[in-house]
């Protein structure tokens, strides 16, 4: 460990709980990123599949994004008032997403999901939210019910995943199994008079929806007049320019966005039907229906120009085809290496976002992922990092910047890793 890095790690453990920002391990400190690569403070280079947990879909420091930001910074970095770039970005979102008639900006995915649930409750005049076990919707009290319970409870009772959550929140969240339409429909019908909304990741962490699942949720919520919220913080503008709702052909009432729309800067949004979004407008709903929403950096002009530049790149012919082709080549190569090594594992996800689950059988929901060999997963991830491949504990995020050399290097590193594990 170089002295500089050692000092930084020591300082981090002195001034930061657990020595990190709460996101990633404290033993790696990134110095810079360019395209599909990052370098740590020791100068080690990595092919980056972490991508800042997904925002850098066009790659790090894309020249067009950098140019847009550098043009804006001398003009001002925040105003707390409307700015032209935020307005233009909202218009682009409305044009792109099937569900979006109006947009309200926030700064983080957590905020967007929190406000989406709140505006649904305001619209319905009901207090409860139905979510799906294993679904990630940020860090609010409601979202941290049955995200990753060590001991899953009995549906529909949720289990808090964090200290500090009031016990009363358990009574406000109904938990259903993902990809089990019959169970979800039964719970929605049973609690229809209490539900303010239903929130779901259309692609839950790494698990694709079973055929008919999202369509069934759309049908039952539309029948009962309950807002359906798609959490598209991850999938928005990643699976298609119109998000997962376009990719799967199912239109929710509301969706949340983040990551890609800020081009690497803090920005998120709630988008949806105008009659629901009207609760952000006191003049339309009156004092009793008005949802207070204030954010110092909401619609930040620097984040907005970065988002607009990113989206302009994604609109170009062939952008999504390239990302899908890159991801598919990796998925196919990983699957072949796993078969050759004879390890109990499978590749799940879609080409722009996938990972290996170190288990056999049908991985259809959170509980089925609990069969995975997490120790093996960690060992493989360590071997990959030692070979110059950076990824999170789970997920390979694919970018437009990953090229054939990156793919070849990654496939070789993965093949060597699983071969070594098979021999161990």
Question: Model confidence over 277-322: pLDDT tens digits?
Answer: 999 999 999 999 999 999 999 999 999 999 999 999 999 999 999 9
CA-to-CA distance for 268 and 286, rounded, in angstroms?
26
Q: Is the pLDDT of residue 408 over 90?
A: yes
String of b and e for 61-90 (b: at least 16 CB within 10 Å)?
ebeebeebbeebeeeeeeeeeebebbeebb
The answer to whether residues 4 and 41 touch, using CB atoms and an 8 Å cutoff, is: yes
* Same domain assignment for residues 46 and 185: no
User: Does residue 302 lie in a domain region?
Assistant: yes
The answer to whether residues 356 and 346 touch, using CB atoms and an 8 Å cutoff, is: yes
User: Does residue 70 lie in a domain region?
Assistant: no
CA-to-CA distance for 226 and 195, rounded, in angstroms?
7
User: Does residue 71 lie in a domain region?
Assistant: no
The answer to whether residues 396 and 381 touch, using CB atoms and an 8 Å cutoff, is: no
* 136 carries an active-site annotation: yes
* 259 carries an active-site annotation: yes
> Residue 376 belongs to what domain range?
3-62+318-423
What does the pLDDT read at residue 2? 53
Residues 6+ apart with CB under 8 A from 176: 130, 131, 132, 133, 155, 156, 183, 184, 187, 188
* Same domain assignment for residues 411 and 378: yes
CA-to-CA distance for 251 and 219, rounded, in angstroms?
11
* 231 carries an active-site annotation: yes
CA-to-CA distance for 61 and 59, rounded, in angstroms?
7
Residues 6+ apart with CB under 8 A from 269: 90, 93, 103, 104, 105, 106, 112, 256, 257, 258, 261
Percentage of residues of the chain with pLDDT beyond 70: 99
What does the pLDDT read at residue 3? 64
* Same domain assignment for residues 23 and 132: no
pLDDT digits (tens, 9 = 90+) for 226-263: 999 999 999 999 999 999 999 999 999 999 999 999 99
User: Does residue 393 lie in a domain region?
Assistant: yes
Distances (CA, A) of 153 to 167, 170, 175: 15, 11, 9
Name the pTM for this structure. Answer: 0.96
User: Does residue 103 lie in a domain region?
Assistant: yes
| pLDDT band of 27, cuts 50, 70, 90 | confident
> Any idea what the CATH number is for the domain that residue 42 is in?
3.90.1150.10
* Same domain assignment for residues 110 and 178: yes
Last residue of a domain, one of 269, 298, 314: 314
* Same domain assignment for residues 251 and 233: yes
Return the bridge partners of 200, or none: 230
The answer to whether residues 304 and 89 touch, using CB atoms and an 8 Å cutoff, is: yes
What does the pLDDT read at residue 186? 98
CA-to-CA distance for 149 and 145, rounded, in angstroms?
8
Q: Average per-residue pLDDT in the chain?
A: 96
Last residue of a domain, one of 293, 314, 335: 314
Among 259, 364, 391, 395, the active-site one is: 259
> Which uninterrupted H or E stretch holds 130?
strand 128-132
| pLDDT band of 164, cuts 50, 70, 90 | very high
> Any idea what the CATH number is for the domain that residue 86 is in?
3.40.640.10
C-alpha torsion 250→254→255→261, nearest 10: 120
* Same domain assignment for residues 271 and 371: no
Q: How many residues does the chain have?
A: 424
Q: Is the pLDDT of residue 6 over 90?
A: no
What does the pLDDT read at residue 71? 98
* Same domain assignment for residues 153 and 214: yes
The answer to whether residues 147 and 136 touch, using CB atoms and an 8 Å cutoff, is: yes
CA-to-CA distance for 207 and 309, rounded, in angstroms?
30
pLDDT digits (tens, 9 = 90+) for 73-123: 999 999 999 999 999 999 999 999 999 999 999 999 999 999 999 999 999
CA-to-CA distance for 256 and 82, rounded, in angstroms?
20
Residues 6+ apart with CB under 8 A from 239: 203, 246, 247, 350, 352, 353
CA-to-CA distance for 420 and 423, rounded, in angstroms?
5
Average pLDDT score over residue span 397-401: 98
Put the strands of the sheet holding 173-176 in their side by side order: 102-106, 268-272, 254-257, 228-231, 195-200, 128-132, 173-176
| pLDDT band of 22, cuts 50, 70, 90 | confident
Return the bridge partners of 255, or none: 230, 271
User: Does residue 51 lie in a domain region?
Assistant: yes
Last residue of a domain, one of 267, 294, 314: 314
Q: Into how many domains does the chain fold? A: 2
User: Does residue 106 lie in a domain region?
Assistant: yes
Among 115, 136, 241, 366, the active-site one is: 136
User: Does residue 67 lie in a domain region?
Assistant: no
String of b and e for 154-170 (b: at least 16 CB within 10 Å)?
ebbebbbeeeebeeeeb
pLDDT digits (tens, 9 = 90+) for 38-56: 999 999 999 999 999 999 9
* Same domain assignment for residues 351 and 394: yes
* Same domain assignment for residues 122 and 228: yes
* Same domain assignment for residues 221 and 140: yes
* Same domain assignment for residues 94 and 183: yes
CA-to-CA distance for 259 and 324, rounded, in angstroms?
19
* Same domain assignment for residues 271 and 383: no
Q: At what angle do helices 404-423 and 319-341 cross, to 10 degrees?
A: 20
Among 231, 253, 355, 406, the active-site one is: 231
């Amino acid at each position: 460990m170089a002295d500089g890095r050692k000092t930084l790690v020591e300082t981090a453990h002195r001034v930061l709980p657990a020595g990190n920002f709460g996101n990633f391990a404290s033993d790696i400190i990134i110095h810079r990123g360019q395209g599909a690569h990052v370098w740590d403070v020791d100068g080690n280079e990595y092919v980056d599949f972490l991508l800042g947990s997904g925002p850098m879909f066009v790659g790090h420091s894309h020249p067009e994004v950098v140019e847009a930001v550098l043009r804006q910074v001398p003009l001002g970095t925040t105003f707390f008032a409307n700015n032209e770039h935020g307005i233009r970005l909202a218009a682009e979102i409305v044009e792109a997403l099937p569900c979006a008639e109006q947009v309200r900006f926030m700064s983080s995915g957590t905020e967007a999901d929190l406000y989406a649930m709140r505006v649904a409750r305001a619209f319905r005049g009901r207090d409860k939210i139905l979510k799906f076990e294993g679904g990630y919707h940020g860090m609010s009290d409601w979202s941290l019910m049955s995200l990753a319970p060590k001991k899953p409870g009995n549906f529909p009772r949720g289990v808090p995943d964090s200290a500090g959550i009031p016990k009363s929140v358990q009574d406000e969240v109904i938990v259903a199994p993902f990809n089990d339409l019959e169970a979800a429909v039964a719970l929605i019908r049973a609690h229809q008079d209490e539900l303010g909304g239903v929130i779901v990741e259309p692609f839950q962490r790494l698990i694709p929806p079973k055929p008919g699942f999202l369509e069934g949720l759309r049908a039952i919520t539309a029948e009962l007049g309950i807002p359906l919220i798609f959490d598209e913080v991850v999938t928005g503008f990643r699976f298609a320019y119109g998000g997962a709702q376009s990719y799967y052909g199912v239109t929710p009432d509301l969706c949340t966005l983040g990551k890609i729309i800020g081009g690497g800067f803090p920005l998120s949004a709630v988008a949806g039907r105008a009659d629901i979004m009207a609760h952000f407008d006191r003049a339309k709903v009156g004092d009793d229906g008005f949802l207070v929403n204030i954010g110092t950096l909401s619609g930040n002009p620097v984040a907005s120009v970065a988002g607009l530049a990113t989206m302009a790149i994604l609109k170009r012919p062939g952008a999504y085809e390239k990302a899908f082709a890159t991801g598919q080549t990796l998925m196919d190569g990983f699957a072949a290496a796993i078969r050759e090594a004879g390890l109990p594992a499978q590749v799940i996800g879609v080409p722009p976002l996938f990972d290996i689950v170190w288990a056999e059988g049908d991985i259809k929901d959170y509980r089925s992922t609990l069969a995975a060999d997490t120790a093996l997963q960690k060992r493989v991830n360590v071997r990959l990092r030692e070979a110059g491949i950076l990824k999170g504990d789970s997920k390979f995020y694919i970018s437009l910047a990953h090229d054939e050399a990156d793919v070849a290097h990654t496939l070789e590193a993965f093949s060597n890793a699983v071969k070594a594990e098979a021999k161990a």
